[in-house]
Structure 1
Amino acid sequence: MRFATWEADGQVRSGVVSTRHDGTAGLHELPARTTVLDLVRAGLPAALEAGTAALAGPAVPVGSVRLLPPLAAPTVRDFVAFEEHVEGMVAPSGEPVAPEWYQAPTFYFTNPYALIGAFDDVAVPPGSRRFDFELEVAVVVGSVDGVAGASLTPAAAREHVFGYTVLNDWSARDLQFREMAVKLGPAKGKDSATTLGPWLVTADELEPYRDDEGFLALDMRVSVNGVEVGQDLLSNMGWPFEELIAYASRGTEVRAGDVLGSGTCGNGGCLAELWGRRGEQTPPPLRPGDVVEMTVEGIGTIRNRVVEGLELPPVRPARPRPRTRKRTA
């Protein structure tokens, strides 16, 4: 089943997605202002029951509304789970992938306030001249019998998988690399926008794609202005999603509605990987007017147009370091 959130006539609504006879999608509203996050917190069995009931109601064409992110995620973690992506990112240094990458999944927290819809415009972050995309799939954590997960085993974490959506982790590479040179971040380099969409596909729908090793073998593709620049399989991840959830929950909690990104896929999942391998910025950084389209098999397509961002004054550099130890009179 597929759940979506949309805006129409100034009102935000949530519901279930159906496929119409002509192949287009229809949206069936959930009752009593129920949100997708409400369903995720209720758990997958209850959500499927509510969705089945909603399908009996009338549908509006998906093309007549503005799709929003499928849910209001309380937190967003983004992992770096594709070895091939990491290889491309470190290629300019000539160094191999850090051995620490293989020891455990690594993630950072990104901005839940910056989530945008599947077809929204995305603005270039202030001060950035190397704007980039990242093709990912995100898992959405659900509850089990209304209980959050803490220090989960991978087997238990799999029971907490509610569903999946496409994620584009927009990246200001110049800001990101400056921050990470300080051994912190990324922060403002990843702070401006993250696309989620077009909807949230429940875990049961994607089980037929699971391979013998437990990974979801979904085809992933990204194009810029109609030209394909990247293609990979989700099953090339170093860890399956249940291990990412289990790691995130170690010594703490993951709660229903939390979003965990897979990290960028390989083979052109972002421009920076291609720049690293080719030794030049080909294709060039994104510019206003560029259209980035991502399609993940079994989930759907997101498409965002890059637009001009705000022009803000430059950031003031740090003052000279006085190193004063005592107050002066």
Structure 2
Amino acid sequence: MTYLSATDGAERVGLVDGEEIRGLRRPGRLVDLLGDDGERLARAAEDARRDPLEVLPLSSATLRAPVPVPPSIRDFMAFEAHVRNARGGSELDPAFYDAPVFYFTNPAAVLGPHDDVPVSPGSVAFDYELELGAVVGRAGADLDPAEAEQHIAGYLVFCDWSARDLQRAEMRHGLGPAKGKDGATTLGPVLVTPDELAPYRRGKGFELRASVTVNGRPFTTSSAEDPLWSFGEMLAYASRGTRLVPGDVVGSGTVGTGCILELSTLHGAEAYPWLRPGDEVHVSVEVLGDLRVTVVEGAPVRPLPRAAGRG
């Protein structure tokens, strides 16, 4: 994990040991411990257990995203239930099943597990999206789907914040999502290594309970066990004709009923209203941990002049 040190105030890497953080003595970023088969990360964990710089209560520590500024973030759409629900149960294009689609989102907009989340400027349809994320530990290109998961350093909770009204407007033109998606992505609270998740593996996914509450009211209750593609298959596709590097983050896409768009489509907008400033959102995934954030007012819109077309 990445946290703010009580010793010098700097961002440091630490090991979660029960309800405590054991901080590494040597400064550096979590991404600096990646790049091999996991030996460097395991050695750092042993150093933190044996001779920590400091031992802090997890409950009172200031946490950052495990990888605060990833080299890249690819967000996939691996859960069929999410897509069907969001489209009111309509049939999907057969090409949807040919390959896992994704978009690139904004590495500069990554937030920690307790950071306030600003509403995207101009949006009145702000939404959460509950996902799992994988962090690339070892570089590779044109990966074999059967072997690509060996390049994963660990997993974390991935919450993609979406301005649905901005997203709808911009995607009418055949590009995007862009401003509808790049306001914030919350990652954390910890990076859980693949061996810790192995007992929860079910087929291509993980049998992990996942939930979201808004102001204490249950919204999402779901699981991460039924994606169309495994993380290995998503990484293989992401690496096709290019190169993944340590610290790259891959999102699974939203789990079934994992966002307000789905819930309001299924049950009505009055029952599941969009997020507003002041809302407290609690995202929880079994084993991976919890995000507890407050939605806050975003920056004001600075209007652009309307372009003069030739039509």
Short-chain TM bin: over 0.9
Distance 2:123 2:309 in 1: 26
State the one-letter code of the partner of 2:76: F
Aligned to 1:89: 86
State the one-letter code of the partner of 1:6: L
8 Å contact from structure 1 (residues 4, 200) kept in 2: no
Question: Following TM superposition, by how much is the alpha carbon of 1:281 offset from its aligned partner in structure 2, in angstroms?
Answer: 5.1
Unaligned 5+ runs, structure 2: none
Question: Following TM superposition, by how much is the alpha carbon of 1:193 offset from its aligned partner in structure 2, in angstroms?
Answer: 0.5
Aligned to 2:66: 70
State the one-letter code of the partner of 2:98: Q
1:29 aligns with 2:14: no
Question: Following TM superposition, by how much is the alpha carbon of 1:177 offset from its aligned partner in structure 2, in angstroms?
Answer: 0.7
8 Å contact from structure 1 (residues 7, 67) kept in 2: no
8 Å contact from structure 1 (residues 291, 303) kept in 2: yes
Unaligned 5+ runs, structure 1: 20-24, 323-329
| 1:111-190 correspondence runs (5 A) | 111-143=106-138, 148-190=139-181
Aligned to 1:240: 230
| 1:1-329 correspondence runs (5 A) | 3-6=1-4, 8=6, 10-19=9-18, 25-56=19-50, 57=52, 58-71=54-67, 72-91=69-88, 95-143=90-138, 148-211=139-202, 213-266=203-256, 268-280=257-269, 282-321=271-310
Distance 2:282 2:34 in 1: 27
Distance 2:5 2:174 in 1: 40
Counterpart secondary structure, 1:155: coil
Question: Following TM superposition, by how much is the alpha carbon of 1:14 offset from its aligned partner in structure 2, in angstroms?
Answer: 1.4
In the TM superposition, what whole-angstrom CA distance separates every residue of 1:166-190 from its partner, at most 9, and x where no partner exists? 0110000000111111111000000
Aligned residues: 307
Distance 1:7 1:108 in 2: 34
In the TM superposition, what whole-angstrom CA distance separates every residue of 1:74-98 from its partner, at most 9, and x where no partner exists? 100000111111012222xx74122
8 Å contact from structure 1 (residues 165, 197) kept in 2: yes
In the TM superposition, what whole-angstrom CA distance separates every residue of 1:4-53 from its partner, at most 9, and x where no partner exists? 3335564211111111xxxxx21111232121111122441221121111
Aligned to 1:327: none
Question: Following TM superposition, by how much is the alpha carbon of 1:214 offset from its aligned partner in structure 2, in angstroms?
Answer: 4.2
In the TM superposition, what whole-angstrom CA distance separates every residue of 1:206-241 from its partner, at most 9, and x where no partner exists? 001112x24221111111111111122211111111
8 Å contact from structure 2 (residues 74, 103) kept in 1: yes
Which stretch of the first structure deviates more once superposed, 256-265 or 151-160?
151-160
Aligned to 1:22: none
Give TM-score, length-normalised by structure 2: 0.94
8 Å contact from structure 1 (residues 164, 201) kept in 2: yes
8 Å contact from structure 2 (residues 204, 227) kept in 1: no
Q: What is the CA RMSD across the aligned residues, in angstroms?
A: 1.6
8 Å contact from structure 1 (residues 4, 17) kept in 2: no
Which stretch of the first structure deviates more once superposed, 28-37 or 196-205?
28-37
Counterpart secondary structure, 1:41: coil
Work out which of the two has the higher radius of gyration on C-alpha atoms and give 1 or 2. Answer: 1
8 Å contact from structure 1 (residues 132, 270) kept in 2: yes
Distance 2:114 2:135 in 1: 20
Counterpart secondary structure, 2:28: coil
Counterpart secondary structure, 1:206: helix
State the one-letter code of the partner of 1:31: R
1:97–1:281 distance in 2 versus 1, CA, 3 Å: farther
State the one-letter code of the partner of 1:86: V
Give TM-score, length-normalised by structure 1: 0.89
Distance 1:89 1:185 in 2: 17
